[in-house]
Amino acid sequence: MQVTVEKLGSCQAKISFIIPGQDFHGTVQEALKERAASANLKGFRPGKVPVQIIEKQFGKEVRGAAIEHFVQQAFQKAVQEHQLKVVGFQRVNLDELIDLPAGQDLASNFEVSLRPEIVLGAYTGIEITSELAPVMDQEVDDAIANLKQQQSRPEPAGDEGLAENGVAIAKIEWIVGEETVLSAEGHRIAMQQPTPGVDEAKWKAALLGAKDGDAREVEMTIPATFNKEQHRGMAGTTRVTIVNAYKLVPPSDAEVQQMVGVQGDEALKTFVRQELGRQKEMQELGRVEGELLQRLIAAHAFDLPTMMVQEQARGRLAQFENQLRQQQAPDDVVRSQIEANKENALKAAENGLRALFLVQAIGEKENLLVTKEDMEQELVSIAQRNNAKPEDVQKFYQEQQGGFDQLAIEILERKVRKFLRENAKLTKPQ
């Protein structure tokens, strides 16, 4: 096997290889004979299937496996001989090689992305000002009010109709001129959340006091994401026919206290204040870690593997497209949104990769290893958060291409972020 490596830049290389025809076709013939010896085809005795029959039926599959075998060998040889730090590679197009004429050498090439060389500057002792704010009395009162709202139970609104915080089950219709362009039964509506294209103040004014069986109308503008393109942006009317109107009854103070396991108003406020304080502390830790990492990204200039950046950007756009599809956005809206977000996806990919490579460099220098115990603990934690079995979570990551690698990267990033924060100079605001 002849393997050569051509550097295409600081983070890209091309691996070319030549397999003598005798070696390649000999490997294919041996594989066909092995397949023939174990084949059980109708009309032939087991193990007595002619190689020509196996070639006709399984030839492409066998040759494809042989090509992948030699590609992997070429890859390993190039990595070892040239000490390449590969972080991604281009797949070989098997269709171009699968019908290689008998006796001809197998010759091809593929590109690999290389990990950038990073000269680390100072990353400890970075001064950063804390933005941790104390918990204010108003925040405590608001949190208790929000908790009551979240735990409110629906009861029939009766003759009072919908209140400002009411909800309802209703039929929704969008009407343009004399045409009903949308009709949805059993739709859940809330006074605080107008349907698309409707002004919030007009929505509340139209529905306030509505009772079971009432039909209310409010002016609207057909959204730009509506699936009927000809109606987008047109003025219309939203007709809401109330099936069941409900009022939301909040729990009493005593019920709230029982929910969180305390007694008395002051004990409840103390509990809520502590919870808000913990939340603020966690948010501040994350903010500090994120800012430290972004400062390091700005302070370290290094090349990125172009192929990897493009792949990451495509992945981000594919995920964005999937979200739009789930929202049932029309095809033309999906296309325009994807086009408009290409540059942002590219910038996000570059920033993400810079963070990744910096994290790896710092992790290696500080010997912040991801251990087997780290991985096992992470799988257990994921299982607990998702009410699943650890073995099922492990199976899920095994089935995902690069699943465990990605999990290890996430653990390493958390370790490095924590290291940066603990070794920074945190000061209080003046």
How would residue 99 be classed by pLDDT, with cut points 50, 70 and 90? confident
Q: Does residue 208 sit in the same domain as residue 81?
A: no
pLDDT bin (cut points 50, 70, 90) of residue 224 is confident
Is 59 a member of any domain?
Answer: yes
Residue 96 confidence (pLDDT) above 90:
no
Helix (H, G, I), strand (E, B) or coil at 236: strand
In a domain, 137, yes or no: no
Contacts of residue 366, defined as CB under 8 A and 6 or more positions apart, other chains included, come to 416, 419
Collect all residues with Cβ–Cβ distance below 8 Å to 371 and sequence separation of at least 6.
none
Residue 17 lies in a domain: yes
Same domain membership, residue 191 and residue 98: no
Domain's final residue, options 57, 91, 114: 114
Q: What is the CATH number of the domain that holds 421?
A: 1.10.3120.10
40: pLDDT strictly greater than 80: no
Query: Final residue of a domain: which of 214, 249, 284?
Result: 249
CATH code, domain carrying 42 = 3.30.70.1050
Between CA 404 and CA 378 the distance in angstroms is 11
Cα 311 from Cα 349, distance rounded (Å):
9
In a domain, 265, yes or no: yes
Question: Is 133 a member of any domain?
Answer: no
Does the pLDDT of residue 108 top 80, yes or no? yes
Sign of CA dihedral 51, 56, 60, 61: negative
User: What local confidence, expressed as pLDDT, does residue 345 receive?
Assistant: 95
Residue 272 and residue 385 in one domain: yes
Tell me the per-residue pLDDT of 59-89, one tens digit each, with 9 for 90 and over: 888 888 998 999 999 999 999 999 999 988 8
- If asked whether residues 236 and 332 sit together in one domain, one would say no
Q: What is the CATH number of the domain that holds 176?
A: 3.10.50.40
Q: How confident is the model at residue 261 (pLDDT cuts 50, 70, 90)?
A: very high
Of all residues in the chain, the percent with pLDDT exceeding 70 is 99
Q: What percent of the chain has pLDDT over 90?
A: 74
How far is CA 270 from each of CA 129, 132, 136, 141, 251, rounded to the nearest angstrom? 28, 19, 12, 11, 19
Q: 279 and 236 in one domain?
A: no
Q: Is the pLDDT of residue 358 over 90?
A: yes
401: left (phi over 0), alpha (psi -120 to 50) or beta: beta
Residues 264 and 337 reside in one and the same domain: yes
pLDDT of residue 93: 76
Q: Given this model, what pLDDT does residue 119 score?
A: 94
Please check the confidence at residue 98 and state whether its pLDDT lies above 90.
no
Is position 306 within any domain? yes
pTM, full prediction: 0.77
Per-residue DSSP letter, 44 = S
Indicate the pLDDT class of residue 56, thresholds 50, 70 and 90: confident
Main-chain phi, psi angles of 263, to 5 degrees: -130, 130
Q: Is 45 domain-assigned?
A: yes
Strand partners, 172: 184, 240
Regarding whether 379 and 321 lie in a shared domain, the answer is yes
> Between 405 and 172, whose confidence is greater?
172
Residue 365 has pLDDT above 90, yes or no: yes
Model confidence at 91, pLDDT cuts 50, 70, 90, reads confident
pLDDT tens per residue, range 110-165: 999 999 999 999 999 999 999 999 999 999 999 999 999 999 999 999 999 999 99
Q: Are residues 391 and 283 part of one domain?
A: yes
Q: Is residue 129 part of a domain?
A: no
Do both 266 and 373 map to the same domain?
yes
Please say which residue of 249, 278, 311 terminates a domain: 249
- Provide the domain limits for residue 65: 2-114
Question: Residue 104, SS3?
Answer: coil
pLDDT band at 51 (very low <50, low <70, confident <90, very high): confident
| pLDDT value of residue 359 | 95
If asked whether residues 238 and 270 sit together in one domain, one would say: no
Q: How many Cα atoms occupy the beta-carbon half-sphere of 309 within 13 Å?
A: 18
Q: Are 49 and 170 within one domain?
A: no
Determine the Cα–Cα distance for residues 146 and 1; give it in Å rounded to an integer.
70
Query: How many domains does the chain fold into?
Result: 3
Indicate the average pLDDT of the chain: 92
Q: Within this chain, do residues 241 and 291 fall inside the same structural domain, yes or no?
A: no
- SS3 percent helix, strand, coil of the chain, rounded to 5, is 50, 20, 30
